Amino acid sequence: MAILHTVNKSPFEKNSLDACVRLAVKGASVLMIEDGVYGAMKGTNKSDVVTGAMGDVSFYVLGPDLKARGIGEDKLIDGIKVVDYSGFVKLTVENDKVQAWL
């Protein structure tokens, strides 16, 4: 039963990303949206949360939310895939359910 996890909070303000990574099974997908996209940046105090889980789960980030916040794709942790709104929909239908880490 594949789960798509969404994280919409900054990892510096809430522990949503930590909780998500801690409780996602191998093979799960994690999509960072809204303020959650700050978790996709490399070279931060929180980058290890994503890089440490990269072998087990697939990470995605919503492009329009990156652009709104001035985050270029060159600032992202290697291996995170950027998706647009239709990619978001695709991930939703490809998985059996969605867990939103608010």
Counting residues that bind other proteins (by CB under 8 A) gives 26
Output the smallest distance, CB 14 to other proteins, in A: 10
CB 4 within 8 Å of CB 31: yes
Binding pattern for the stretch 47-76 against other proteins, x by CB under 8 A and - elsewhere: x---------------xxx-xxxxxx--x-
Pick the closest to residue 22 from 45, 70, 56, 47 (CA basis).
Answer: 56
Smallest gap from Cβ 54 to other proteins, in A, equals: 17
Strands, E, within 39-84: which ranges? Answer: 58-62, 81-83
CA neighbours closer than 13 Å in the CB half-sphere of residue 89? 3
**Under rule CB under 8 A, residue 45 binds other proteins:** yes
- Smallest Cα–Cα separation from 28: which of 1, 65, 3, 60? 3
Residue with Cβ nearer other proteins (56 or 84) = 84
Q: Write the interaction track for other proteins spanning residues 1-40; mark x where CB under 8 A is met and - where it is not.
A: -------xxx-xx--------------------xx--x--
Kindly state the smallest distance separating residue 38's Cβ from other proteins, in Å.
Answer: 7
Strand-pair partners of 29: 4, 58
